[in-house]
Each structure stands twice: as structure tokens, then as C-alpha cells.
């Protein structure tokens, strides 16, 4: 399963000048091979699960030990390897084993694409994600779980015949009637996965205040921003709050982290995460970040809008096309949607620069792979805001920026692009590579793979002079 290469390639090639500039920098054949590798790796989960440890509450060693004990107690039937990342002081890595040779059963359950992606990363199937089950499914029945690739399965279906992809076998925790015929909103685990295609422990309810599941590049962003105790920091597009909480943790709760999001339900999620991680320096507000700067220099309010130059550091983790997310088993992208993000990102950029103090740091990041939303935005920002200069990033464990946006080699080296396709091969997709299915000798080889086999991601760091 995975994104349809032909339709996705047409979508990207229609992007015109951007693709032509890439082809001017590399050969047609090299560009096409890299694109096909990108599609292949996007349809598979990363090779390692990344856990951000709450080192503001306990030492990494203590969290590593407690996490291992907790995963044993919740009934994990696999030998769990947990190793610290050698270069990032608050990250633990757990190898993902797969794809595994799991035999499909005759009874089939269909789940939504988002639910299917979560299963591939170690989750059980929660009842709201279930779209179709056998007609007489009862609690305890063994079933095969499939993800709906085209979004065509209607809820309550009994015999879905559309395109689907197998994600593993599980045991029903509910009857069909309990899933589809309840008067109340259905909650809880509907299918407990016992033979997932990719084997990784479930973190549902495991050390909620000490272990936070987060993609490795998202953790890197917090360190690149470099927050210090006592500073006032703005996270402009903060939901669901993972990066917000990381920033606050790096500040040891000393200072103020202002988190903005324009969707009220997501703001509540930020507050819940902050509470779970015991971070009371976070102030979350429901507000459109584009309008977060006010014209009244004398205004002094706790909430938005804020006067210019109100913040020591600003994180703009911008809304984007999300084309770097993994695993992505369904292709719903269209050119109009992809192109709509660049103007929005630039509006947010204008606000970010105005709100940042002179001498302050602005970090721009996305979870997408397009030049238009990444390197081209950097080139535009440097031309639009003479006060901004690119800065070195620490840590810098990804690749440098991509050619094609008119940036100099020196500027590209200051950027950080996580490009999983660069180290990807067909053998990895089939599980024939040297995957970490056995106890590794040291964390270094594991970390090298963790740094390469990530979601697609981009980071730029600016200083305002």
C-alpha cells in the first residue's frame, strides 16, 4: 500500500518553476529516483520510535529504567530495547521491528487511514476509528485489520470491497453492536493488536508525565530554538503542544511560554499536556497568530495581541502541506491545497518578525518536503527582512538544505532538512536491511539510523539584528 506514484508525481511535476529549478540542479534521472524513494519511505513508519523524556522531572536514566519496567507490566510480549540518543540529552529510542510475516485472517475489520497509520506506529485500534466489521463480530474474535486507502468505506459497513492495506491482526475488545449501535459516543480500545505488521510497544497510559511520544525532528526544533530560563517565548501555531511543552521543560519552568492556536479544542489540548507534564509557565490562548501583533506600543496585556518586540524567541512551526508525515498510506494531495500554504506562512512570518525583539531568535519549521514551503520561504524571508540572518543550528543531525531556491552553499549548510529518502532502499521496505531486530552493541549505530529514518521535516534558524 501507499501513495499512488503516478498521481503524486503528476501533482509535484505540475508545480512548475520549483521542480524545474530542482532539475536544473540535479539530473532528471536522479530527481525521479529520489522522488520514488520518497514515496516508498513515506508509506512506511520510521525505523525507531522516539520518546522525549521529561528530564525536568527526573533523570534520563531513571526514566529509561521506569519506562522499561512499565512496558513489561502493561503486557508487552516483546523484548523492548530502550537506548538513549547519544547526542540529544532528552531522547530515548526504541527500535521498530517490521514489516513482519503476519498471516491474514478471514475476518476483516476496516479502519480509517489516520487510525491505520497509528497502528503502524504501535497503537491499538480505538473504537472511533473503526469503519467496518464482520456482521456478527463478538468480543474475543480474532480479526485482521485493514486501512481504508481511498476514504470510501462508510461507517457500519459489513463487507467492504474497496482499496485497503493490511496493518496486522488483533482481538476484538467490543461487539459490533457496541461499536455501531451505542447511543453514547463510543470510546476505548476496539481492537487490541496482537500481531501488528510493525511491532512497537503501545504507549497508551504509559508514564504520561515522564514519556512523551514525539518525532525526532520535532524534538530537535526545541533544542535549536535554544530557550533559556527567564525568557519570554512565543509558539505561534502551538497545538497539540508537544513543542510548547518541550520549550517550557528546557527552561525548567522559569520564564513564560505563550502558546497560540486559533482552534479552541486544540488550545485545551495544549493546556492538558502542560498540566500532565507539570509545566505551569505555559499560557495558552485561542487566537489567530496572524493578528497577534497590535499597533499600540503601550499596550501591556497578558494575552494577545501583543506589542511589537515582545518576545525573546519565536517558534513558527507553520501550518503546511504535511507531506513529510509517516506513514502516509493514502494520497489526498492536490496542487491547489499544496500551493495554498505559502501565502499563509508568509503572513505568519511578518507577524513573527514584528513580535521578535532585536537580538532575538526566530525558528521556522515545517513537516513537509516541498521547496516552496521550505527553502523558497527562507530565500523570501532573507530578501523581505534585511534584519534577519541565518544562524548555525545545534544539534544539526539532518541533511543540509535542498538546491533549487537560489540560496548559496553556505546558506544551505545552515539549514536542516530531514530527508528520509536519502537513506532509503527497496530492501528496507521489504524488511531485508540490517534492521535493529537484535540487541544493538551501542546506541551509536541506532542513533545514526534514527537521524536518517525520520519523518520529512525542515528547520531554519534566524537572528534578528
Report the catalytic residues. 367
CB 147 within 8 A of CB 116: yes
Give dist(CA 2, CA 113) in Å, integer. Answer: 11
Give dist(CA 135, CA 116) in Å, integer. Answer: 21
Query: Which residues does 408 contact at the CB level (< 8 Å), separation at least 6?
Result: none
Question: Annotated binding site for S-adenosyl-L-methionine, which residues?
Answer: 237-243, 261, 296, 317
Give dist(CA 423, CA 124) in Å, integer. Answer: 29
**Nearest alpha-carbon partner for 236 in 308, 194, 290, 309:** 290
Relative to beta strand 232-235, strand 256-261 is parallel
**Nearest alpha-carbon partner for 377 in 350, 409, 337:** 350
Can you count the helices (H) and strands (E) in the chain?
15, 18
Q: What is the DSSP letter of 306?
A: B
- The continuous run of DSSP H or E covering 190 comes out as strand 189-196
DSSP assignment string, 233-254? EEESS-TT-HHHHHHHHHTTT-
Q: What is the DSSP letter of 128?
A: G
Query: Which residues does 30 contact at the CB level (< 8 Å), separation at least 6?
Result: none
Give the 3-state secondary structure of residue 30: helix
**Nearest alpha-carbon partner for 83 in 75, 97, 98, 95:** 95
Q: Which residues pair with 399 in a beta bridge?
A: 417
DSSP assignment string, 359-415? EEEEEEEES---TTTTHHHHHHHHHH-TTEEE---SS--SB-PPSSSS--HHHHHHS
Question: Is the previous residue joined to 101 through a cis bond, with omega within 30 degrees of 0?
Answer: no
Give dist(CA 51, CA 80) in Å, integer. Answer: 13
Give dist(CA 433, CA 427) in Å, integer. Answer: 6
Give dist(CA 249, CA 173) in Å, integer. Answer: 37
Give dist(CA 98, CA 430) in Å, integer. Answer: 8
Amino acid at each position: 500500500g501507499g501513495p499512488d506514484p503516478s498521481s503524486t508525481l503528476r501533482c509535484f511535476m505540475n508545480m512548475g518553476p520549483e521542480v524545474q529549478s530542482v532539475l536544473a540542479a540535479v539530473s532528471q534521472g536522479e530527481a525521479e529516483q529520489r522522488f520514488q524513494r520518497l514515496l516508498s519511505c513515506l508509506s512506511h513508519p520510521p525505523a525507531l520510535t522516539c520518546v522525549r523524556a521529561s528530564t525536568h522531572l527526573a533523570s534520563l536514566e531513571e526514566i529509561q529504567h521506569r519506562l522499561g519496567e512499565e512496558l513489561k507490566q502493561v503486557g508487552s510480549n516483546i523484548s523492548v530495547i530502550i537506548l538513549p540518543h547519544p547526542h540529544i540529552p532528552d531522547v530515548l529510542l526504541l527500535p521498530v521491528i517490521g514489516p513482519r510475516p503476519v498471516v491474514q485472517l478471514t475476518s476483516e475489520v476496516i479502519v480509517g487511514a489516520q487510525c491505520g497509520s497509528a497502528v503502524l506506529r504501535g497503537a491499538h485500534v480505538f473504537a472511533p476509528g473503526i469503519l467496518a466489521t464482520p456482521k456478527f463480530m463478538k468480543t474475543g474474535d480474532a480479526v485482521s485489520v485493514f486501512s481504508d486507502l481511498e476514504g470510501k468505506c462508510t461507517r457500519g459497513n459489513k463487507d467492504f470491497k474497496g482499496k485497503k492495506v493490511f496493518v496486522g491482526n488483533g482481538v476484538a475488545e467490543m461487539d459490533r453492536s457496541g461499536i455501531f449501535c451505542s447511543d453514547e459516543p463510543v470510546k476505548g480500545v476496539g481492537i487490541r493488536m496482537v500481531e501488528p505488521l510493525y511491532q512497537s510497544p503501545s504507549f497508551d497510559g504509559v508514564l504520561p508525565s515522564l514519556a512523551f511520544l514525539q518525532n525526532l525532528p520535532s524534538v530537535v526544533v526545541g533544542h535549536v530554538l535554544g530557550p533559556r530560563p527567564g525568557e519570554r517565548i512565543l509558539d505561534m501555531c502551538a497545538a497539540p503542544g508537544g513543542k510548547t511543552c518541550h520549550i517550557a521543560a528546557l527552561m525548567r519552568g522559569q520564564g513564560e511560554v505563550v502558546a497560540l492556536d486559533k482552534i479552541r479544542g486544540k488550545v485545551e489540548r495544549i493546556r492538558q499536556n502542560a498540566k500532565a507534564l507539570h509545566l505551569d509557565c505555559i499560557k495558552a490562548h485561542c487566537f489567530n497568530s496572524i493578528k497577534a501583533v497590535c499597533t499600540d506600543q503601550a499596550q501591556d496585556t497578558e494575552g494577545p495581541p501583543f506589542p511589537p518586540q515582545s518576545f525573546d524567541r519565536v517558534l513558527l512551526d507553520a501550518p503546511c502541506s504535511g507531506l513529510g508525515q509517516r506513514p502516509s498510506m493514502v494520497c489526498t494531495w492536490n496542487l491547489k491545497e499544496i500551493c495554498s500554504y505559502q501565502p499563509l506562512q508568509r503572513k505568519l512570518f511578518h507577524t513573527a518578525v514584528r513580535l521578535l525583539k532585536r537580538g532575538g531568535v526566530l525558528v521556522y519549521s515545517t513537516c513537509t518536503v516541498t521547496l516552496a514551503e521550505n527553502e523558497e520561504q527562507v530565500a523570501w524571508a532573507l530578501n523581505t527582512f534585511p534584519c534577519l540572518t541565518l544562524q548555525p543550528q545545534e544539534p544539526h543531525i539532518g541533511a543540509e538544505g535542498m538546491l533549487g531556491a537560489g540560496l548559496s552553499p553556505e546558506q544551505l549548510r545552515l539549514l536542516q532538512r530531514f530527508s528520509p529518502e536519502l537513506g532509503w532502499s527497496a530492501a528496507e521496505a521489504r524488511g531485508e536491511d540490517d534492521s535493529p531486530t537484535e540487541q544493538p552493541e551501542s546506541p551509536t549505530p541506532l542513533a545514526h539510523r534514527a537521524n536518517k529514518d525520520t519523518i520529512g521535516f525542515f528547520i531554519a534558524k534566524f537572528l534578528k539584528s
